[in-house]
Chains A and B, each alone.
Chain A
């Protein structure tokens, strides 16, 4: 099987599995406990926090571990908006191509918490205009949320530039960096962000653990209260093995980042060139250069994504349509429609995301097989 869906999830690195393994049956203590078993768990937890903080160039106390990327986004949006409400700030700004974790949370804040949400458009490449953000900021803006790199089309936003604008206005700036985690720089000082969400399973860590960077001083109302773990921002017994796994996976991914990005970029360019030369009427979606290195998103006109994905699976290639919607009705992606694509075209979206274990041979196999698959589907539907 050739796995080309690294934006969906990744295999856990064996070194990460090994780093996690002592915390199941040996050092299983509760980090809040006073005895040795608990202290060792607490030490592992704080060691993980320090490792993550070094990668993000922040203080360890600014890291909040969560259950997943979606939870991190929820804590950022709900926490910031409800935290700023007493000061009369009830306005949030997001973009039209945010992940549903942000989009649906903003929608709920608007519907049930009396929030005013501005949804900014993007251009055909999926880029948001920083000037549009400047124009949308208001004195009562509590939070601006712009995703670092888009999951469906790979476009990378000018986060640092947007951050500089937002902070002049006194609003908090959040970025959903879930797709960027293993591939882009995460220096929160350079990025000018106040909040940044990550999810471990996107960079060869385990599923079920994420984190939120919360800049010191940011007013955040917790969304989960209880025993005041994570400095009251996320109560609940800390998931020590998973948090250890997240920290190790993040370090490993970030250490390899430069060389791996160059390798993935070469593979992606080979893949795109091969497909573009052999399949008529396909289009690269997202930005041609300002995109994740291993991320290739396409529109294959006249070939429905559902059939493409099944035919690829039967050929031994795991891919996705960019909008994971296997169970529901095939609905055109909100990202592609926001970028101005026709909804019918958006139903032919295909996403091939390369990663660590992919080789040139994998890419060449897809270049050889996909054109035949597309031709057959176009001839029969």
Chain B
């Protein structure tokens, strides 16, 4: 009996090639698409409705994924995961913004939905593995465990959003396209007559119809989007902001303040609904503290380590000293100041190409 694999399919090139490679490797492959979010339909009259435009799981993407599954001769199902997605991803996303943080929902989605809800499903369907089209690699650690590595294509690497995984997840995960560069993946798709265009890369806010998270927040959590004062470090009011979620740390333009020197966003003070701004030389921090760290190895490698720390999905990793705190969090001391350390984002710790773990940034300081 071939081993059974569930593949999370989007209709795009990466997951399609992942499915094709697994079929060729002799697995029994089952394609699954998750329905994560749907905007409510617009009532017209009586029971008639106009379908809302959905970015996630559009009719076209389901059609594309089903077409790929048919071509590969594998079964394909659309699973409804709207309730867990709302509870575990969208609601915390809104809450984080409401508390002045800038969240990355993809981490929670990978933890709670793909390698939570969907992995449970895969196991319930007697599958040995769950495969996705992520650009990351899994390597044996030589002691029966697994390591998470960046994808071969550094520009497409998604290990940042997969650093939520642990040993039990990696033992059940396959990332077939992580071994290839994107052009090679496109070539594999073209050679197999599969779609070659990307769809819904995981850094996107897949549930926000037009990609405008500010509009989304204004609609779904209007209380989190209230105008308030803009102040400088000394508390002098400089102007009025449109709602804290409209701003990110390090942002320069769009403040609507005329000043002698360019002003940048330094901090979002949710408790006072206040935006703190300052000049370029006030920007830049060398120290941060995270909430509880999740280690891919399921345990900290050491109490202190030197790691390359990546503070955003597409940021350059920066060398830093990491100290594990008694509460499970971490203190990170960078060698040089970073301009945009942002509470709510993940700090992911790397040793070379290996992702060791992550913690959500709780606070940052100059030193």
Binding site for B on A (CB under 8 A): 104, 107-108, 111-112, 306-307, 310-311, 313-314, 326-330, 376-377, 379-381
Of chain A, the residue at the smallest CB distance from B48 is A108
CA distance A379 to B80 in the complex (A): 20
* 10 sample A-B contacts, Cβ–Cβ < 8 Å, listed by A number: A108-B46, A310-B77, A310-B79, A313-B77, A326-B78, A329-B83, A330-B83, A380-B123, A381-B120, A381-B124
Query: Cβ of A104 and Cβ of B79 under 8 Å apart?
Result: no
How far apart are the CA atoms of A112 and B126 in the complex, in Å? 50
Q: Which residue of A lies closest to B45 (CB)?
A: A112
A329 touches B125 (CB 8 A): no
With beta carbons under 8 angstroms apart, the residue of A108, A307, A328 that contacts B124 is A307
Chain B residues near A379 (CB-CB < 8 A):
123-124
Asked if B227 CB lies within 8 Å of chain A CBs, one says no
Nearest B residue to A329 by beta-carbon distance?
Answer: B82
CA distance A363 to B321 in the complex (A): 65
A313 and B80 alpha carbons, distance in the complex (Å): 17
| Contact between A311 and B82, CB atoms less than 8 A apart | no
- Determine whether the beta carbon of A311 is less than 8 Å from that of B124: yes
Q: Which residues, 53 to 84 on B, are CB-close (under 8 Å) to A?
A: 75, 77-80, 82-83
B120 adjacent to A306 (CB under 8 Å): no
Given contacts A307-B124, A313-B75, contact A329 B46 (CB under 8 A): no
Closest to B83 in A: A329
**Docked pose: A7 CA to B132 CA in angstroms:** 36
A107: chain B residues at CB < 8 Å are 47
CB neighbours of B77 from chain A (8 A): 310, 313
Q: Which residue of B lies closest to A311 (CB)?
A: B125
For the complex, give the distance between the alpha carbons of A381 and B121 in Å. Answer: 7
Give B337 Cβ to nearest chain A Cβ, in Å: 47
Residue from B82, B120, B121 having most chain A Cβ neighbours under 10 A? B121
A residues less than 8 Å from B124 (CB atoms) = 307, 311, 376-377, 379-381
Residues of the B chain whose Cβ atoms lie less than 8 Å from the Cβ of A330: 80, 83
B30 close to A (CB within 8 Å): yes
Q: Which of B75, B78, B125 is within 8 Å of A307, CB to CB?
A: B125
Task: Give the residue name and chain of the A residue nearest to B6 (CB).
Answer: A310
* Cβ 8 A contact of B121, one of A111, A307, A327: A307
* Chain B hits for A307, CB < 8 A: 121, 124-125
For the complex, give the distance between the alpha carbons of A107 and B47 in Å: 9
Shortest C-beta distance, A148 to chain B (Å), equals: 25
User: How distant is the Cα of A29 from the Cα of B125 in the complex, in angstroms?
Assistant: 53
Q: How far is the CA of A326 from the CA of B35 in the complex (A)?
A: 11
Please determine whether A327 and B78 come into contact, CB atoms closer than 8 angstroms.
yes
Q: Is B120 in contact with A314, judged by CB distance below 8 angstroms?
A: no
Contacts of A306 in B (CB 8 A): 79-80
Apart from A310-B125, A376-B124, what 7 extra A-B contacts exist at CB < 8 Å?
Answer: A307-B125, A311-B125, A328-B80, A376-B123, A380-B121, A380-B124, A381-B121
Interface of B is mostly: mixed
Residues of A within 8 A of B78 (CB): 326-327
Given contacts A329-B80, A381-B120, contact A376 B46 (CB under 8 A): no
- Interface flags, B15-36, vs A, CB<8A=1, else 0: 0000000000000001000010
Q: Which residues of B contact A327 (CB under 8 A)?
A: 35, 78
Q: List, in ascending order, chain A residues with CB within 8 A of B30's CB.
A: 314
A111/B46 in contact, CB under 8 A? yes
Tell me the residues in window 116-142 of chain B with beta carbons closer than 8 Å to chain A beta carbons.
120-121, 123-126
What separation, in Å, do the CA atoms of A380 and B80 have in the docked complex?
17
- Please, which residues of chain B bring their CB within 8 A of the CB of A111? 46
Tell whether, in the assembled complex, residue A314 and residue B46 are in contact, meaning their CB atoms are under 8 Å apart.
no
- Interchain CA distance A376-B125 in the complex, whole Å: 7
Of the candidates B82, B123, B125, the one whose C-beta lies within 8 Å of that of A314 is B125
Residues of A within 8 A of B83 (CB): 329-330
Q: Which residues of B contact A380 (CB under 8 A)?
A: 120-121, 123-124
Q: With A112-B46, A306-B80, A329-B83 given, is the CB distance from A311 to B75 under 8 Å?
A: no
Distance in angstroms between the alpha carbons of A330 and B83 in the assembled complex? 9
- Expressed in whole angstroms, the Cα–Cα distance for A379 and B126 within the complex equals 11
| Chain B residues positioned under 8 Å from A329 (CB to CB) | 80, 82-83
Q: Closest CB-CB distance, A96 to chain B, in whole Å?
A: 18
Which residues of chain A have C-beta atoms less than 8 A from B121's C-beta?
A: 307, 380-381
Residues of A within 8 Å of B47, CB to CB, are 104, 107-108
Question: Does B75 contact A314, Cβ atoms closer than 8 Å?
Answer: yes
Report the minimal beta-carbon distance from A363 to chain B, rounded to whole angstroms. Answer: 22
User: Who on chain B is nearest to A315 by CB?
Assistant: B126
Assembly CA distance A329 to B35 (angstroms): 9
CA distance A146 to B233 in the complex (A): 73
Provide the residues of chain A in CB contact with B46, threshold 8 Å: 108, 111-112
The CA of A115 and the CA of B352, in the complex, are separated in Å by 72
Complex-state Cα separation, A379 to B123, whole angstroms: 9
Chain A neighbourhood of B125, CB < 8 A = 307, 310-311, 314, 376
Distance between Cα atoms of A327 and B80 in the complex (Å): 8
